[in-house]
Chain A
Amino acid sequence: DGGITQSPKYLFRKEGQNVTLSCEQNLNHDAMYWYRQDPGQGLRLIYYSQIVNDFQKGDIAEGYSVSREKKESFPLTVTSAQKNPTAFYLCASRLAGGRSNEQCFGPGTRLTVL
């Protein structure tokens, strides 16, 4: 079945450590997105990538980094510079050229900083 996988589902990190969240899709989608979700704030865009080897900052990119070396993969690194990293992180993808801009979402990773 086609879809988006995120791993791990739960992640615990000590302050000052970098951590990388995985996102893989087998939908053959061109564009991929990372969102952060906090209670009562909806989803906020961190980074997005329209094609391989290219990505753009979203609304809250500070303290995060990404790479897009393969079409299927879009890992997110939460660096020690991110002041409040505890949140639920969602990865999404979209077929470029689609009529509706519909995005498909992965199951999410909940990151907790201890």
Chain B
Amino acid sequence: AQSVTQLGSHVSVSEGALVLLRCNYSSSVPPYLFWYVQYPNQGLQLLLKYTSAATLVKGINGFEAEFKKSETSFHLTKPSAHMSDAAEYFCAVSSTGGTSYGKLTFGQGTILTVHP
């Protein structure tokens, strides 16, 4: 079984400040991990993914995430927030094998607000 917990349903930052969105996962096999972004009334867009290569993963729009196996975490960061980063962010885990192969399990989402 696999699960994802996103700490904080709402995060608010000032423009130019550091963005940190937290994600912890549980998986019985080595996982693939993803961050997706969703703008209002739209589908999900992939920001970045971890596939067991480099533990520090760089994505689009200046975002990056670090896979920490010992902490079972995959937190999303961006050094300087922009107004256009305001959206909802989802962390997801997928199994690398077994009967859950190919299925994604999502966290509850974190809504990021950016203040001028």
Q: Is the CB of B102 within 8 A of A50?
A: yes
Q: Is the CB of A42 within 8 A of B90?
A: yes
CB contact under 8 A between A101 and B94, given known A42-B106, A45-B103: yes
Q: Is the CB of B109 within 8 A of A42?
A: yes
Stretch at the interface among A12-20, A62-70, A71-79, A103-111: A103-111
- Closest chain-B Cβ to A44's Cβ sits at a distance in Å of 8
Which chain A residues border B103 with CB–CB below 8 Å? 33, 45, 48, 58, 101
A40 contacts B by Cβ under 8 Å = yes
Q: Is the CB of A94 within 8 A of B90?
A: no
Q: Is the CB of A99 within 8 A of B108?
A: no
* Residue in A58, A96, A102, A107 whose Cβ sees the most chain B Cβ within 10 Å: A102
Which chain B residues border A102 with CB–CB below 8 Å? 32, 34, 46, 49
Q: Is the CB of B94 within 8 A of A40?
A: no
Which chain A residues border B32 with CB–CB below 8 Å? 100-102
A90 contacts B by Cβ under 8 Å = yes
Instruction: Count residues of A near B (Cβ-Cβ below 8 Å).
Output: 29
Stretch at the interface among B37-45, B64-72, B77-85: B37-45
Q: Is the CB of B102 within 8 A of A96?
A: yes
Which chain B residues border A45 with CB–CB below 8 Å? 103-104
Could you say which of A40, A48, A107 contacts B9, with CB atoms under 8 Å apart? Answer: A40
With both beta carbons as reference points, the residue of chain A lying nearest to B90 in the complex is identified as: A42
Q: How far is the CA of A50 from the CA of B9 in the complex (A)?
A: 32
With both beta carbons as reference points, the residue of chain A lying nearest to B109 in the complex is identified as: A42
Q: How far is the CA of A92 from the CA of B34 in the complex (A)?
A: 15
A84 contacts B by Cβ under 8 Å = no
- Closest chain-B Cβ to A22's Cβ sits at a distance in Å of 14
Q: How far is the CA of A108 from the CA of B41 in the complex (A)?
A: 7
Which residues of B are in contact with A by a Cβ distance under 8 Å? 9, 32, 34, 36, 41-46, 49, 51, 90, 94-96, 101-104, 106-109
Could you list 13 examples of A-B contacts with CB < 8 Å?
A43-B44, A45-B104, A50-B102, A58-B103, A100-B49, A101-B94, A101-B95, A101-B102, A102-B34, A102-B46, A102-B49, A105-B36, A106-B43
